[in-house]
Structure 1
């Protein structure tokens, strides 16, 4: 009562507003709440599942707010989950209370990590291999490959035209698949490709020594944890054009950064086999739009399956959709019940740990 009387003397008639704001931001024991901010309306399951996971923790407040409101409110939050927002230096400078900026997944290309570091804010991703996100993305890659090989869009046209026994499709069996970027998603993809009877080529920054063991996904992984034994031929960045030339299907699993942006350009696509298929389950910015469009137009590229786009949300009137050998999905490769609930648990546990003053676990720091 003495505290409330003191506030009344300061605030006068505005007491109800200040008192309600105080209660919203404080726990019953007078301790400040830990507040988690989700940026923007996209990927709604991320904030909904996190709220659900934390519903019995009144000490944690989870908000999802529009993009345009973030700069004005970010100073009130301890954890920020960016999703698809670009968090630049100006916005980060306003995050005076922030302890952690993170992604609901792995991509951190929208965060100015240097600015966060300068302001003493940690930046982190959720490792895809431990949440089921990598497995979900790998399954989506298989979906694209089969959809393009079996001519998914043309089959729907045939149904509408009452045709039977066409179109003639292809099979994965006997194909050569190039995994461009052999990280967690690439590993999960290789596991799933093995039963189809394909040859697997893969590139990554560095490879450990080869340790042969069974191709079974139930077997222990090699010492470096990369399942390198699943790959028939391993290469580095210098081999990407040669591997593209020899492959029937290229699957892009790269992390987006200054070195990889636009890596699938005119030169890369020209190096692919005529009729080769391109699958992208990583980031839209890895692919040069005009190069892909022109290659589809000329018939050199046999098909495109992509879960990510050059601009998101994707323009439903984009001319690239005129091609029947294009399959587009709305950035849902990792959006499955299993992976999203696993990541919600990670975010929720982080909030609980932060509120309790414990060390933050379950994430991978970028600074």
Structure 2
């Protein structure tokens, strides 16, 4: 825990602004924020175990939730909380309606401003290439002193379906284009009947990287065209379990599935069953149904499964950028200045 003594700063009397980071995971978030604020001793950065959050939350002004579930009961104890934030965009664990009733602002850090989206896009490509080139089998070949095997596949010539076309999807499409792939994408409000290959939507956003686009009601039709499906969706009640038995059955036999968004987008039993049957040719995931993921989970016994420990957005570039955003918000709250570079959701 941070030092609780009162420190005088020239602009705000004896006031201390306290920032709480929840839990031990993603440690670079609090470490880099501390470094950014090292010259501002009136901003205190604490990180506490997840189970201790309800007991201490009442004395904090800002909270970075990470993977802590924030229910209405926990929020009701946040007596002086002004802002709840997330390193990145995922706020599905926060009861936003309860926060709104309590007058607590909830905000995400836009990924296109910090490099988070670019970092996640690069991880998606890493997982795709790892599956195509059979990363697990290559490691076995090295141990067995074999050369020239396994025989992999190229990304060249593949059709990739991006489920979701927000900041990550856009950055991923830009990076995929030079690989010589066909790109399909889905986004709420898009329709194959009205969208097709048009280059902009009603907001004027450029979509020249997409060869074909459609709405969420057309995902089964689009899945049948793809060699690789990448999940880039936000998790909410509409998207939870969207990659289910029906969806996977609609995919080409032997096609690949990559998830860099949230584990809850995938139906666990459907994924496991289709890996066993060979309907799914491979699974690459940076996120899981429960985190940390059980290293003894049966899914990890398949040689065509690659799991990374929720590090898609965890790069020096993105975390330094996000620590600056969190630090600036703390400074703005402390001085009463207007908030910038964060996106409030309530």
Normalization by structure 2: what TM-score? 0.94
- Counterparts of 1:187 and 1:225 in 2: how far apart (Å)? 14
- Counterparts of 2:204 and 2:336 in 1: how far apart (Å)? 32
8 A Cα contact 1:210 1:229, kept in partner: no
Judged with a 3 Å threshold, the aligned counterparts in structure 2 of structure 1 residues 229 and 98 are, in CA distance, closer, same or farther, namely: same
Shift of 1:223: 8.7
Match of 2:177 in 1: 194
- Counterparts of 1:71 and 1:85 in 2: how far apart (Å)? 10
Answer yes or no: is 1:27 the counterpart of 2:27. Answer: no
Match of 1:125 in 2: 108
8 A Cα contact 2:195 2:213, kept in partner: no
Show the 5 A alignment for 1:25-64.
25-27=6-8, 30-64=13-47
Match of 1:282 in 2: 261
Match of 2:54 in 1: 71
Answer yes or no: is 1:171 the counterpart of 2:154. Answer: yes
8 A Cα contact 2:7 2:41, kept in partner: no
Match of 1:305 in 2: 284
Match of 1:13 in 2: none
8 A Cα contact 2:197 2:212, kept in partner: no
Answer yes or no: is 1:273 the counterpart of 2:252. Answer: yes
8 A Cα contact 2:196 2:212, kept in partner: no
Answer yes or no: is 1:252 the counterpart of 2:235. Answer: no
Q: Which runs of 4+ in 1 moved over 6 A?
A: 208-213
Structure 2: gaps of 5 or more residues: none
Judged with a 3 Å threshold, the aligned counterparts in structure 2 of structure 1 residues 283 and 225 are, in CA distance, closer, same or farther, namely: farther
- Counterparts of 1:105 and 1:306 in 2: how far apart (Å)? 18
Shift of 1:193: 0.5
- Counterparts of 2:299 and 2:164 in 1: how far apart (Å)? 25
Match of 1:216 in 2: none
8 A Cα contact 1:179 1:186, kept in partner: yes
Give the secondary-structure state (helix, strand or coil) at the position aligned to 1:228.
Answer: coil
Higher helix share: 1
Show the 5 A alignment for 1:272-351.
272-351=251-330
Deviation per residue, 1:308-332 (Å, 9 max, x gap):
0011011111111110000000000
Match of 1:155 in 2: 138
Bigger-Rg structure (1/2): 1
Structure 1: gaps of 5 or more residues: 1-20, 214-220
Q: Please provide the CA RMSD for this pair.
A: 1.8
Shift of 1:160: 1.1
Judged with a 3 Å threshold, the aligned counterparts in structure 2 of structure 1 residues 117 and 247 are, in CA distance, closer, same or farther, namely: same
Give the secondary-structure state (helix, strand or coil) at the position aligned to 1:229.
Answer: coil
Shift of 1:58: 1.0
